[in-house]
A and B are shown apart, each in its own frame.
Chain A
């Protein structure tokens, strides 16, 4: 029942947004709907601590992992939808878009959020695929929302690359189903249901499962943004409007990663830990290294944030490669922390873009003098992104390193530390260029409106709270982690 409510809220919001012409109240209503299902999600997490919840004749299922993902989706979409009225107002007044397209924007965003919720709340791995595919289609239109040359090119690249990736993920899913058919011996007891897949997983044929998992890593890995399937990410995340980038970077990547976590559990049950670990280590290290290299000489603010997302997805892949309960719990904490931090960064960069008219970092300077609150928020968010204490990303990265050491992967820890230090230096230097520097010293500092500063500061405080109080959360996270460890 709770699950159906969680899905019904954004679905109802979609209908409302489709029925009425764009007004500011629709933006606030969408924020309210996000807050609602976030609250319901927190309630669901408490309930799933005792047992998984089912709905709709066992087609929807929530275990602690699903409930946690609902909380992540809710948090990030709350932030993104809180900024929708302001973003639309700015775009309409500057002539970038019209009220008609603003309506499409809200509808598509709600469809996007609903599909992500379906993806984490479904019991069937096939429906998981369908909903992630649906998010690709919704986000294509969202990326091209501004209708500039860059936006069109970015959305074209995005839809082509992600469609191919999703198709390969479908092939991987089909191969798992095929292995299941063979293992169960009859067509009627084989299904793509999570519980039945996990129960049959130890009996799946190794050759087929190996190929299937490789295809799934490549396929879903394209949507996660892992190297070498990442080339759509910087373009799409930099050309989309800021709330869309926040949603995509903050939570869509993590939902695709959630799919990978589920399938990794199946692969480990069938093949043992070595093969999944090796595959995930390769893509994780590759993503980390490439992101480090690209961040050093980066010139565009939003592209910099996009490459940072690639870096964090690489870290997630490394944590998933280790696959001990502690590692996965750290991964989940990282998902939440990264989602919040990246949203704050993208949303404040959207604000900077509307102020400065450009996202090239060379052309922005002296922000701290002109807009102290906004610059402060941005600065602290960057500190959170590079995992300084007391933010939660520090806790999650430290725990992941500890888990990697426990598993004997010393070299991974060394490489990660080197990369993270380089990234720290790069991000700090780019941020310093923007915040300090010879801006217009004669201009008096103006304060930003509360409608933007309050949510963003609130989000940063939540990050600190997560970091400080991660210990009480540990039981929920470990419980969720146990779901994907066979």
Chain B
């Protein structure tokens, strides 16, 4: 009985988390666009513009390419599903969401990877040139970013003694002096590079370009229209929200709800939102200051991220 009530409240908390991220993700994207616009001296679109775009897209007609197979309509659902599940099991608002015991960082990484793979397949499916090109570029970036991500997470788990996300957060809460240690800082640097690569921001990819020379992510989803494009965009926005708030929570876990009381959950939501917004603004400022790298220079950046994460591991081992 008590267990049912517990899991019921846990389930409600998890649902709340998913809804928050589903709404917050597009808001984050809008926030970043606003920051960039202001930094460039423009007024820019309102922060809620991506949500309005989603509503507009949902009302439009579905279109499929002639030579597309079942992969094309399935992929947006896979992207959305993996994002939702990843969000559901990650400790963002509270330290023990439903299924939180499987909140191993590797699970989350591979859920996101499944979404990326689905997007790449969808790019290949209609048989157009842009789609194939975008898919190959995106997979290259992903292949280079994965090792950096994994090793950075290993660095974090070496210091905390576990790769379970709530465990990492709990140990960081218990040892606040770790936050400024070289291992954490290096892992933060590596994770920032990886997150920028995975979410397709400058200097890896320009989310607002449609030029053949510079498209990576946009090329993959070029064939989508209407509700399917809405699903893909929402799934991507949820990934952005997930990754940013994960970075924020791993390095500054204060404010996360450790109990399932309504007050703690509300506080946790607000704090997570603020932290994630902070990370988003930081990324947007990085975007403003850098230029997009040419494609053959990307391996340098990602290899640099990889070395930083190896450095984080070794530093973590020697400073134990």
A and B directly contacting (CB within 8 A): no
B contact set with A: CB distance below 8 Å: none
Q: Which residues of A contact B (CB under 8 A)?
A: none
